[in-house]
């Protein structure tokens, strides 16, 4: 192999530049140049210099990160080097959250201490309930989650001390502990049910089910199959490197805002139908299709560009999303407890037809994590509005890990992209009486 540099000749000036090429862990995946090195390429002394133009960051790394690795071509996802399949099979959500946050699997002692710490913080201040009570009965629970998480910053003003490692850790624990409580309370509010308080004897997901579904029983006993299925779903959703919401978390956090405000923003990014809101849209799409025999007509509409096939396609995966494969497997276990979801047949038929169609093959569109998760959530008794909330709860650990990594990375400064200005050149102010008729519709 030759030198790790890139030689660029600027044909405007005939000058040649040599720019270093650097690497991440894998030389064949993640070679990069620093776009700041392009700035020296200029035609004159007063020229700003060359920039990279990359709308939506299709080919621009915004950070160096050691948390999650994705190879979208080969359908690989790893947290801190551990394959997602192994974690889904053998880990728990809290153990995975620890791994994502601190880089290593915890020892027994570390895991016990971590679990006790998170469990200790599951309660929310009673006044927070008043915020939830203020929402209309039909308020979307994701809106309630975003608003209430943002409001938490007013309860923990010390969270602003983002340069203090111990304070950061405290907020990380609080957020991982309290998002399930807020999510469950939002659900209870939506249903008009009294809030069910955390039960610290239960596991993280067992307690979440308790806060959601407990009725009059003295002690709620989660179904072990559903508890484990939720655990696996939470592991799969814990992090996914620099997606829209993690980028929002990092961007807002880079201004040194407190983590509650940043996380509310990240959750807002997740809410959109092109990101974590897709699972809700998948269910609505399946309901709208209604039966297997109507699938071909829907696929035709997708191909005609009228609608998207929700739950298909991904910016990074150009292969099966490995999370979708795992989710498909756990669906069977869940359905043995809950009974099958009739929408599964429609989803399977959609996938079968889509994967044979040229439109999807040439664009390399495969099912993503959201395609099957909603079918499971619905079978477990969740209303569709809760689906993005069920994504946000476990993603909290990933957002916090991305936030922590960003703040402790000496190369990171406030996030502030450049633009390519395409507007009017400088011109003089025109007095009102000289402006003529309407020119803007
Ligand atoms: N249905 C139909 N066509 C699609 C779909 C889809 N779901 N996804 C992409 N395409 C088409 C686009 O129209 C485009 O076609 P064209 O080249 O003829 O214009 C081509 O495939 C490339 O798609 P882009 O939109 O350029 O891909 P991008 O990387 O920007 O978008 C995204 C990725 C947003 C996920 C997209 O695939 C999509 O909208 N999917 C549906 C929503 C969804 O499931 N989101 C969840 C993603 S997973 C997550 O966030 C947790």
pLDDT higher than threshold 90 for residue 205: yes
pLDDT given at position 402: 98
Same-domain pairing of 151 and 195 = yes
pLDDT per residue over 343-379, tens digit each?
999 999 999 999 999 999 999 999 988 899 989 999 9
pLDDT given at position 436: 83
Q: What's the CA-to-centroid distance between 313 and ligand 1, angstroms?
A: 5
The minimum-distance atom of ligand 1 relative to the CA of 314 is: 35
Q: Which of 140, 189, 237, 314 is catalytic?
A: 314
Q: Which residue has the higher pLDDT, 76 or 28?
A: 76
pLDDT given at position 198: 96
How many of the other CB atoms lie within 10 Å of CB of 244? 19
Residue whose CA is at the smallest distance from ligand 1 atom 37: 313
Q: Is residue 369 part of a domain?
A: yes
Same-domain pairing of 284 and 265 = no
3-state helix, strand, coil in the chain (%, to 5): 55, 5, 40
Structure tokens at 392: 């946000």
pLDDT given at position 439: 66
pLDDT category at 1 given cuts 50, 70, 90 is confident
Q: Is residue 30 part of a domain?
A: yes
Ramachandran sector of residue 96 (left: φ over 0; alpha: ψ -120 to 50; beta: rest): alpha
Q: Which residue has the tokens 């409001």?
A: 151
Q: Is residue 421 part of a domain?
A: no
pLDDT given at position 320: 86
pLDDT given at position 306: 96
Yes or no: say if 117 and 111 are a contact pair by the CB < 8 Å rule: no
Whole-number Å distance between alpha carbons of 365 and 320: 8
pTM of the model: 0.94
Q: Is residue 63 part of a domain?
A: no
Same-domain pairing of 82 and 178 = yes
State yes or no: is 275 an active-site residue: yes
The minimum-distance atom of ligand 1 relative to the CA of 308 is: 1
Same-domain pairing of 78 and 172 = yes
pLDDT given at position 441: 61
Q: Is residue 256 part of a domain?
A: yes
- Name the residue of 283, 308, 313 whose CB sits within 8 Å of the most ligand 1 atoms, as the mutation to test its pocket: 313
Yes or no: say if 159 and 168 are a contact pair by the CB < 8 Å rule: no
State yes or no: is 314 an active-site residue: yes
Mean pLDDT for 235-246 is: 97
pLDDT higher than threshold 80 for residue 333: yes
Q: What DSSP string runs through 225-269? A: HHHHHHHHHHHHTS--SS-HHHHHHHHHHTTT--HHHHHHHHHHH
Whole-number Å distance between alpha carbons of 81 and 148: 34
pLDDT per residue over 119-128, tens digit each?
999 999 999 9
Mean pLDDT for 423-433 is: 96
pLDDT given at position 440: 66
Residue whose CA is at the smallest distance from ligand 1 atom 28: 315
Q: What's the CA-to-centroid distance between 347 and ligand 1, angstroms?
A: 18
Sheet containing 68-71: which strands, arranged edge to edge?
A: 68-71, 76-79, 82-83
Alpha helices in 8-63 (DSSP H): none
Residue whose CA is at the smallest distance from ligand 1 atom 47: 275
Residue whose CA is at the smallest distance from ligand 1 atom 46: 275
The minimum-distance atom of ligand 1 relative to the CA of 240 is: 51
Same-domain pairing of 213 and 345 = no
Q: Is residue 438 part of a domain?
A: no
Yes or no: say if 354 and 360 are a contact pair by the CB < 8 Å rule: yes
CATH number at residue 103: 1.10.580.10
pLDDT given at position 91: 98
Same-domain pairing of 266 and 289 = no
Same-domain pairing of 92 and 191 = yes
- Range 264-284 burial, b when 16+ CB lie within 10 A, else e: bbbbbbbbebebbbbbbbbbe
Domain region containing 49: 5-53
Query: Number of structural domains, the chain?
Result: 3
pLDDT given at position 27: 81
Same-domain pairing of 29 and 133 = no
pLDDT given at position 340: 87
Same-domain pairing of 26 and 119 = no
pLDDT per residue over 136-192, tens digit each?
989 999 999 999 999 999 999 999 999 999 999 999 999 999 999 999 999 999 999
Same-domain pairing of 195 and 132 = yes
Q: What's the CA-to-centroid distance between 312 and ligand 1, angstroms?
A: 7
pLDDT per residue over 257-297, tens digit each?
999 999 999 999 999 999 998 998 999 999 999 999 999 99
Structure tokens at 158: 């010390």
Q: Which residue has the tokens 């030198």?
A: 3
Q: Which of 275, 345, 409, 425 is catalytic?
A: 275
Q: What's the CA-to-centroid distance between 236 and ligand 1, angstroms?
A: 21
Same-domain pairing of 40 and 107 = no
Yes or no: say if 25 and 61 are a contact pair by the CB < 8 Å rule: no
Same-domain pairing of 158 and 241 = yes
Whole-number Å distance between alpha carbons of 354 and 365: 9
Q: What's the CA-to-centroid distance between 308 and ligand 1, angstroms?
A: 8
Comparing CA positions, the residue from 32, 102, 34 lying closest to residue 408 is 102
pLDDT higher than threshold 90 for residue 20: yes
Q: What DSSP string runs through 107-145? A: PHHHHHHHHHHHHHT----HHHHHHHHHS-TT--HHHHH
Q: What's the CA-to-centroid distance between 240 and ligand 1, angstroms?
A: 17
Q: What is the mean pLDDT of the chain?
A: 95
In the chain, % of residues over pLDDT 90: 90
pLDDT given at position 314: 92
Q: Is residue 123 part of a domain?
A: yes
> At a CB cut-off of 8 Å and minimum separation 6, what does 88 contact?
232, 235, 236, 326
Residue whose CA is at the smallest distance from ligand 1 atom 31: 315
Give residue ranges with CB within 6 A of ligand 1.
274-276, 278, 302, 308-315, 363, 365, 368-370
pLDDT per residue over 48-82, tens digit each?
999 999 999 999 999 999 999 999 999 999 999 99
pLDDT per residue over 374-419, tens digit each?
899 999 999 999 999 999 999 999 999 999 999 999 999 999 999 9
Ramachandran sector of residue 81 (left: φ over 0; alpha: ψ -120 to 50; beta: rest): left
């Amino acid at each position: 192999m030759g030198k790790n540099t890139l030689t660029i000749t600027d044909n405007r000036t005939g000058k040649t530049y040599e720019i270093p090429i650097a690497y991440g862990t894998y030389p064949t995946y993640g070679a990069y140049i620093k776009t700041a090195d392009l700035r020296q390429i200029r035609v004159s002394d007063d020229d700003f210099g060359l920039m990279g133009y990359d709308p939506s960051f299709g080919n621009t790394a915004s950070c160096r990160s050691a948390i999650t690795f994705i190879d979208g071509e080969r359908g690989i996802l790893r947290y801190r080097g551990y394959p997602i399949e192994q974690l889904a099979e053998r880990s728990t959500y809290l153990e995975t959250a620890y791994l994502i946050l601190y880089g290593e699997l915890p020892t027994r002692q570390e895991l016990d201490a971590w679990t006790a710490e998170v469990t200790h913080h599951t309660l929310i201040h009673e006044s927070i309930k008043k915020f939830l009570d203020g929402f209309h009965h039909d308020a979307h629970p994701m809106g309630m989650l975003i608003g209430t998480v943002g409001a938490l910053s007013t309860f923990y003003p010390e969270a602003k001390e983002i340069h203090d490692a111990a304070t950061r850790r405290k907020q990380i624990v609080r957020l991982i502990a309290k998002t399930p409580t807020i999510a469950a309370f939002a659900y209870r509010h939506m249903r008009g049910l009294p809030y069910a308080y955390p039960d610290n004897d239960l596991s993280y997901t067992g307690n979440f089910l308790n806060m959601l579904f407990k009725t009059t029983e003295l002690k709620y006993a989660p179904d072990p199959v559903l508890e484990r299925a939720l655990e696996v779903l939470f592991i799969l959703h814990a992090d996914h490197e620099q997606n829209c919401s993690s980028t929002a978390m990092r961007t807002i956090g880079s201004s040194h805002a407190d983590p509650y405000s940043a996380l509310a923003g990240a959750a807002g990014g997740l809410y959109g139908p092109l990101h974590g809101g897709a699972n809700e849209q998948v269910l609505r799409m399946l309901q709208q299709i209604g039966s297997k025999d109507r699938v071909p007509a829907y696929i035709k509409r997708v191909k005609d560009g009228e609608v998207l096939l929700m739950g298909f396609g991904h910016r990074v995966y150009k292969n099966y999303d490995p999370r979708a494969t795992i989710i498909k497997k756990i669906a069977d276990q869940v359905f043995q407890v809950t009974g099958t979801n009739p929408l599964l047949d429609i989803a399977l038929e959609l996938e079968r037809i889509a994967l044979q169609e040229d439109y999807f093959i040439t664009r390399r569109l495969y099912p993503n994590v959201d395609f099957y998760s909603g079918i499971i959530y619905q079978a477990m008794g969740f209303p569709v509005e809760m689906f993005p909330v069920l994504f946000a709860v476990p993603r909290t650990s990933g957002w916090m890990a991305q936030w922590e990594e960003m703040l402790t990375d000496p190369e990171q400064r406030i996030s502030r992209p450049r633009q390519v200005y395409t507007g009017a050149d400088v011109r003089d102010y025109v007095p009102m009486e000289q402006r003529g008729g309407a020119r803007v519709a």
